[in-house]
Structure 1
Amino acid sequence: MSVDAPRAREAAGGRSVLSGVLLGLGVAAFVDETVFHQLLHWHHFYDKSTPAAGLVSDGLFHAVSWFATIAALFLLADLRRRAAFRAPLWWGGLLLGAGGFQLYDGTVQHKLLRLHQIRYHVAVAPYDWTWNIVAAVLIVAGAVLLVRASRRDR
């Protein structure tokens, strides 16, 4: 085994995690945008202005999530082409990315910046708790997968 082989394996592992994180972000944002913004009409990405501004903010939000998804898939294709894809790290990254997006959305965007709430004209506490607990579960599951995969590699 050459001296560079462990470094190459570590780099491939990092790229597998990055691809998973980006896809997790993209998928979580896509689900948020599709379900809560478009189908249920509960909120827009930015609700502090007119409905037209909210729609534009939704479009920009959707575009960014789409770019994250495309970047993730390009990374994944490159890893597969090089036979360097590490599935446990990728799945851990995907769960971490989805949970990280959801926790960021539920804490920073909803509470700190108050860009929008999950829902309006109802008691939001059950929605907030559910949103953030699901985020924490996703993050913990992703972290567990990453730790297990790292231990297996040693």
Structure 2
Amino acid sequence: MERKQHFWSGILFGIGLMVIVDEVIFHQLLQWHHFYDRATSGFGILTDGLLTSFGFFAAVFGLFLFADLRKKMSIYWMSWIGSVCLGAGGFQLFDGLVSHKLLQIHQIRYGVDILPYDLAWNLFAALLLIIGAVMVKKTTFDREDS
């Protein structure tokens, strides 16, 4: 049970963290795009708000699961941080492949050669996934039934 709770706590927090970082940096500060760019700017801002809300709730729910683990005094940091990397990398790869390429609801940036941005975005996501998978795999829990 603790193994699953470590995993899902980290996954949810990682997804939420990456959503919030993406929203703050690329949507608000740089203003490169909105979550949904195929409509009016107002609708794009609305979709940004919905995505930010989703990210916030995922992060908070992940932290509630983490607080429960902390209360039990059973934190396996390598597993949890690895799961955070898996969640963050998974969201970023989903965004890069599904949102940007398959559904084309937005691109990372407009008016430039998009290939370097796509490569950087998706390679960073893959790196996070690899690091996370290695960290989770290397974690040994005290009990086999965890």
TM-score range, shorter-chain basis?
Answer: over 0.9
Query: In the alignment, residue 69 of structure 1 is paired with which amino acid?
Result: A
Aligned-partner SS, 2:104: coil
Aligned match of 1:25: 15
- How many positions carry a matched residue from both structures? 144
Alignment-derived partner of residue 75 in structure 2: 85
2:21 is matched by which residue type in structure 1?
A: V
The answer to whether 1:60 aligns with 2:35 is no
Q: Decide which of 59, 65, 72 is 1:75's aligned counterpart.
A: 65
Q: Secondary structure at the match of 1:59?
A: helix
Which SS does the other structure have where 1:16 is aligned? Answer: helix
Q: CA offset at residue 121 of structure 1?
A: 0.6
Change in 2 beyond 3 A, CA 1:41/1:140: same
Q: Is the 8 A contact 1:95 1:142 kept in 2?
A: yes
1:151, distance to aligned residue in structure 2 (A):
8.3
Determine if contact 1:96/1:142 at 8 Å carries over to the other structure: yes
Q: State the partner residue of 1:5.
A: none
How does the TM-score come out when normalised to structure 2? 0.95
Alignment-derived partner of residue 140 in structure 1:
130
Identify the residue that residue 7 of structure 1 maps to in structure 2: none
1:83-124 deviation line (CA, Å, top 9, x unaligned): 222211101100000000000000000000001000001010
SS of residue in 1 equivalent to 2:97: helix
Q: Following TM superposition, where does structure 1 have runs of at least 4 consecutive aligned residues deviating by more than 4 angstroms?
A: 150-154
User: How far 1:150 moved relative to its partner?
Assistant: 4.3
Q: Within 5 Å, which residues of 2 pair with 1:88-103?
A: 88-103=78-93
1:2-24 Cα distance to aligned partner (Å, 9 max, x none): xxxxxxxxx10110111111111
Equivalent residue for 1:109, pick from 93, 99, 105:
99
Check the 8 A contact 2:3/2:141 in 1, yes or no: no
Alpha-carbon distance in 1 for matches of 2:14, 2:142: 23
* In structure 1, C-alpha distance between the alignment counterparts of 2:115 and 2:78, rounded to whole Å: 34
- Distance in 1, matches of 2:140 and 2:104, equals 38
